């Protein structure tokens, strides 16, 4: 997994300034031969073979669509014992294969939930767009159309990874409501673009772009990266939620009775207070806040907890520590006390004074070599280990 070259946004779209200026939110972008690395590293028929028999991938992570309709999972799942539990939707690979042989498209939803390199890919997109993204894998039998013509409510990057697929695209209308919908070929008329995607080709479809695709004479494997749109209505809801949630002025509980005349006065004053608060928001802070909301990174989070525990075990006197990003730490020490209290990510710990002093320096942004600390070397290494295990600091180089 480590050797897979995970594409960045610029690998998909080329010059990102041009992309955001001319294509993002406006019109489809077709980039033939965009990927310089082997597209099958991202998703291949071989990987899908593995996933099909993995036993752990169950609906809704796998789905079967035939003639544009979702096939009921009951037709390809069964009840099975796993350890001491019973699951009712274990995939029967031969049944899925049977559906495929009779023309079904098989989709693997949210691949970023279970393939680490795909999660790395969607994380890059979530960071670039400040919003959630997900990956779906599709395998379509030769000559078959997977879905009826439709538009999606999300922006989509298509990466063809094996085989070829024909696409019909219609430019999105300027006024788009962001709702997914189905069409007939007749009502769409002549397509604006007809293209055949080969492995390594990338296609960008802004939300609301009508499209349909069919595999050509070969079996087709492609990856669709879905970037959730964050329209003004979503942004305003987020900003208002943020503005009202921790403000006591909005904590009242008015009586919702049509005869309650005080309601109008109180409502007007609440709306005024809210409007004043929203007008005072600094727009750069607002963007930072919107980007850091948990739902913006959902499905693409990174984790290095166990690796950091190993790093704590192997650190030595020549190691250095620096503040770990994302840790919420507060320190409390009473005057003259021999120990103090640390609150880390919501949990409280009592630790010796010397360790508290070390934590304070790390929180102030210092990078500290353990062998430069006063006090007994063994004790300093112990403090350092505890601070790393508590996820306050990370180890920078050096080991025993």
| Binding range to Fe ion, per CB under 5 A, among 118-126, 128-136, 151-159, 339-347 | 151-159
Shortest Å, Cβ 211 to Fe ion: 6
Shortest Å, Cβ 89 to Fe ion: 25
DSSP letters for 71-102: PPGGGTEEEEEETTEEEEEEE-HHHHHHHHHT
Please give the backbone phi and psi of residue 309, each rounded to the nearest 5 degrees, phi first. -65, -40
Shortest Å, Cβ 16 to Fe ion: 23
Q: Of 11 and 152, which CB lies nearer to Fe ion in the complex structure?
A: 152
Shortest Å, Cβ 149 to Fe ion: 9
The whole-angstrom separation of Cα 330 and Cα 334 is 14
Question: Which pair of tokens denotes residue 179?
Answer: 């709702």
Shortest Å, Cβ 181 to Fe ion: 11
Nearest to 194 by CA among 221, 216, 163: 216
DSSP letters for 154-165: EEEEEEEEES-E
Q: Of 164 and 224, which CB lies nearer to Fe ion in the complex structure?
A: 224
Q: Of 29 and 362, which CB lies nearer to Fe ion in the complex structure?
A: 29
Q: Is 155 among the residues that bind Fe ion (CB under 5 A)?
A: no
Q: CB of 369 within 8 A of CB of 316?
A: no
Q: Of 135 and 373, which CB lies nearer to Fe ion in the complex structure?
A: 135
| Count of residues of this chain found to bind Fe ion when the rule CB under 5 A is applied | 1
Chain mean position to CA 160: 21
Nearest to 39 by CA among 4, 1, 2: 4
Q: Of 179 and 310, which CB lies nearer to Fe ion in the complex structure?
A: 179
Q: Of 11 and 155, which CB lies nearer to Fe ion in the complex structure?
A: 155
Q: Of 149 and 163, which CB lies nearer to Fe ion in the complex structure?
A: 149
| Binding range to Fe ion, per CB under 5 A, among 76-84, 94-102, 146-154, 281-289 | 146-154
Shortest Å, Cβ 277 to Fe ion: 39
Q: Of 80 and 150, which CB lies nearer to Fe ion in the complex structure?
A: 150
Residues 193-252 interacting with Fe ion (rule: CB under 5 A): none
Q: Is 152 among the residues that bind Fe ion (CB under 5 A)?
A: yes
Distance (Å) of CA 5 to CA 31, 120, 223 = 19, 10, 15
Listed as own residue / partner, the contacts of 46-54 with beta carbons closer than 8 Å and 24 or more positions apart are 47/115, 48/106, 48/108, 48/137, 48/139, 48/221, 51/108, 51/114, 52/91, 52/93, 52/96, 52/97, 52/106, 53/93
| Binding range to Fe ion, per CB under 5 A, among 4-12, 53-61, 144-152, 293-301 | 144-152
Shortest Å, Cβ 154 to Fe ion: 9
Question: Which pair of tokens denotes residue 166?
Answer: 């024909």
Shortest Å, Cβ 158 to Fe ion: 9
The whole-angstrom separation of Cα 387 and Cα 400 is 17
The whole-angstrom separation of Cα 215 and Cα 70 is 18
Q: Is 134 among the residues that bind Fe ion (CB under 5 A)?
A: no
Residues engaged in binding Fe ion (CB under 5 A): 152
């Amino acid at each position: 997994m480590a050797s897979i070259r995970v594409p960045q946004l610029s690998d998909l779209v080329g010059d990102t300034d041009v992309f955001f200026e001319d294509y993002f939110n406006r019109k489809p972008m077709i980039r033939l031969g965009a990927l310089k690395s082997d597209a099958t590293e991202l998703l291949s028929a071989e990987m899908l073979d593995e996933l099909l028999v993995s036993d752990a991938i169950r609906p809704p992570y796998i789905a079967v669509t035939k003639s544009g309709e979702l096939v009921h999972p009951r037709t390809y799942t069964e009840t099975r014992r796993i350890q001491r539990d019973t699951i009712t939707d274990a995939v029967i690979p031969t049944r899925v294969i049977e559906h495929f042989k009779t023309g079904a498209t098989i989709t693997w939803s949210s691949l970023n939930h279970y393939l680490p390199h795909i999660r790395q890919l969607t994380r890059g997109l979530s960071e670039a767009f400040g919003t959630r993204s997900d990956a779906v894998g599709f395998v379509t039998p030769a000559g078959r159309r997977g879905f009826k013509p439709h538009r999606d409510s999300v922006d989509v990057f298509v990466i063809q990874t094996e085989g070829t697929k024909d696409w019909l695209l219609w430019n999105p209308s300027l006024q788009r409501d962001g709702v997914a919908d189905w069409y007939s070929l007749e009502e769409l008329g002549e397509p604006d673009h007809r293209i055949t995607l080969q492995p390594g080709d990338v296609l960008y479809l802004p939300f609301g772009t009508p499209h349909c695709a069919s595999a050509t004479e070969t079996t087709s494997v492609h990856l669709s990266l879905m970037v959730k749109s964050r329209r003004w209505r979503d942004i305003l809801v987020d900003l208002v939620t943020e503005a009202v949630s921790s403000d006591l002025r909005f904590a009242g509980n008015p009586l919702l009775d049509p005869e309650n005349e005080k309601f109008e006065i109180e409502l007007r004053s609440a709306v005024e207070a809210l409007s004043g608060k929203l007008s005072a928001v600094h727009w750069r802070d607002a963007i930072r806040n919107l980007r850091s909301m948990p739902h913006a990174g959902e499905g693409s989070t990174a984790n290095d907890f166990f690796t950091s525990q190993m790093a704590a075990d192997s650190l030595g006197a020549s190691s250095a520590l620096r503040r770990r990003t994302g840790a919420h730490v507060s320190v409390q020490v009473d005057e003259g006390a021999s120990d103090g209290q640390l609150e880390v990510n919501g949990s409280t710990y009592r630790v010796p004074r010397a360790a508290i002093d070390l934590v304070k320096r790390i929180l102030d942004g210092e990078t500290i070599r353990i062998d430069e600390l006063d006090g007994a070397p063994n004790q300093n290494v112990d403090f350092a280990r505890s601070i790393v295990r508590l996820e306050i600091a990370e180890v920078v180089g050096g080991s025993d």
